[in-house]
Amino acid sequence: MRKYIIIVVLLALGAAFLLPAGAARAQSDEQDIVAIASSDPQFSTLVAALQAADLVETLQGEGPFTVFAPTNDAFAAALDALGMTADELLADTDTLTQILLYHVVPGAVTADQVVTLSSATTVQGSDLSIAVQDGTVVLNDSVNVVTTDIMASNGVIHVIDGVLLPPAAPVEATETAFGYLRVAHFSPDTPAVEVYVNGELSGIQALNFGDVSGWVELPAGQYELAVAPAGTSYVDAAIGPLNYDLQAGTWNTIAAVGSLDAGTLAVQVVQEDYSPIADGSARVTILHAIEDAPAVDILADGAPIVTGLAFGDDAATLDVPAGTYNLQVVPSGATEPVVLDLSGTELMPHTFYFVAATGTLDNPGVTVEAVEASLLADNTTGYPADDMSSDEMSEDASMGSIVDIAVADGRFTTLVAAVQAAGLANTLAGDGPFTVFAPTDDAFAAALDALGLTADELLADTDTLTSILLYHVADGTLTAADVAGMSSIPTLNGAAIAVDASSGVVLNDGQATVILADIMASNGVIHVIDGVLLPPSN
């Protein structure tokens, strides 16, 4: 959807220089913004950019759009002020997108309507201020409207003598206002557990020994956590309640370790390092969670890479070259007996691994969780920014519908466009509750490439699009723990999704994997997946 709107802006900006207002009016029933812009000889840079991006054909929508279009002189002056060339601006797609979307207002707002407004909300999300000074419409107290009402069949263009620069995006402030939390069950004699946050049952339920929940995204702040046997209540908590300070931008694994019967059940917090990894390397975080085992060394192809790691110690974190290793866990200072033999362990580049030795000395085991760095790069908040306290947030932790969260999250622009094209936005913003398996933009791009389709072709085929989207939605709120306990999930499409939770949560034999779970919404829950699920043929 964002690319679509950018095209509208670029072509509309070009249209502003093509014709005088009167001539454009005469063509309004015949030419849309594409036809007008493509014949503009004075806007060659923007037209060339559209052709290079192979995006011209996508502007066939009805709109309507209102574009405040800077002149060529206005763009030249703005580039000079910014110290940029046109090529540099076109190459900086993030900046270009923000600037261009700030010149577009939804709907066809003609000059006689503009003068009645004090402000207008742009497609970029920020407002433009509007004032009439000495008979001239002035935007943001500095840019004048010099020509009005250049009509196209799908919108209207007003020419302006300056480039409008949007205010600093509030996303930068909210990205650091959230932290991530998950729970690991590493106590071998403790039954399945569920987690309470601020006294309320969270989405982490029926977590069995050896399991690690999906990541839960929460506003930074103080939380009261408690862990209770599944099916009981907050007052039956075996761990806590304890206060936990969730810091912004951190990824925290809350591990239940020790023994329930021995009275040593406790929590160990592992704050994982998700900072950038060097090219060709992987990052491994290792936790010793076997209470009755001595301190250990970890050998890679016979050479120690971690030494003296004991139960209760902070987790060890190290960066290593990607590759295949013969790993062995042995008593510290010895080479045998081998407590755990992990020969043939493959570590992928740019991937974070969490490895825990679990169980007992007589029956040791290992739990491994992995996430690729690229899947974290665009991670943004799952909730809209506001000034609510943590206590208030606990009363309604979602603070938005599934649609609200998806729109606010930069990973799902293709999904949002698809939902809108299929006419499903109102449905998924309704009461529900729903469980949505949400493919990222990268997942959609890979699927379209594999299918030999463009995004426009998929969006235009509404029957196929609707079938695919409904195949990603299930009735009810199915948390990560619920999903992990199922072998298949009925969907609104009518067909079921196959589930394999033996190592992570894998859907339909590898079509997709859940990479971030339990993003809670007011009308359900979102699980982020790295592939697009294709329903079986009828």
CATH number of 2-160: 2.30.180.10
Model pLDDT, residue 221: 85
Topology (CATH) of 275-372: Immunoglobulin-like (2.60.40)
Q: What is the spatial distance between Cα 358 and Cα 344, in angstroms, rounded to a whole number?
A: 20
Q: What is the spatial distance between Cα 122 and Cα 169, in angstroms, rounded to a whole number?
A: 13
Tell me the C-alpha to C-alpha distance, in Å, between residue 370 and each of 177, 271, 373, 412: 24, 15, 10, 22
Model pLDDT, residue 336: 85
- Of the chain, the end-to-end C-alpha distance in Å amounts to 29
Residue in the block written with tokens 């009461």: 431
- For residues 214 and 482, is the Cβ–Cβ distance under 8 A? no
Domain span(s) for CATH 2.30.180.10 in the chain: 2-160, 398-529
Please tell me whether residue 460 adopts helix, strand or coil conformation: helix
CA-angle at 274, arms to 269 and 279, nearest 5°: 145
Domain span(s) for CATH 2.60.40 in the chain: 170-272, 275-372
Q: What is the spatial distance between Cα 406 and Cα 381, in angstroms, rounded to a whole number?
A: 10
- Is CATH 2.30.29 the classification given to domain 170-272? no
Joined tokens for residue 486:
């199922």
Model pLDDT, residue 219: 81
Point out the residues of the chain with pLDDT beneath 50.
1-29, 43, 45-46, 49-50, 52-53, 55-56, 58-59, 169-176, 377-399
- For residues 519 and 408, is the Cβ–Cβ distance under 8 A? no
Model pLDDT, residue 217: 76
Q: What is the spatial distance between Cα 361 and Cα 290, in angstroms, rounded to a whole number?
A: 7
Q: State which amino acid sits at residue 472.
A: H
CATH number of 398-529: 2.30.180.10
Model pLDDT, residue 172: 38
Tell me the C-alpha to C-alpha distance, in Å, between residue 154 and each of 64, 67, 104, 224, 292: 5, 11, 13, 54, 72
Model pLDDT, residue 42: 55
SS (H, E, C) 386-425: CCCCHHHHHHCCCCCCHHHHHHHCCCCHHHHHHHHHCCCH
Q: What is the spatial distance between Cα 19 and Cα 16, in angstroms, rounded to a whole number?
A: 7
Q: Which residues contact 283 (CB under 8 A, 6 or more apart)?
A: 273, 277, 317, 318, 319, 351, 352, 353
Model pLDDT, residue 286: 94
Residue 460 sits at φ, ψ, to 5 deg, of -75, -25
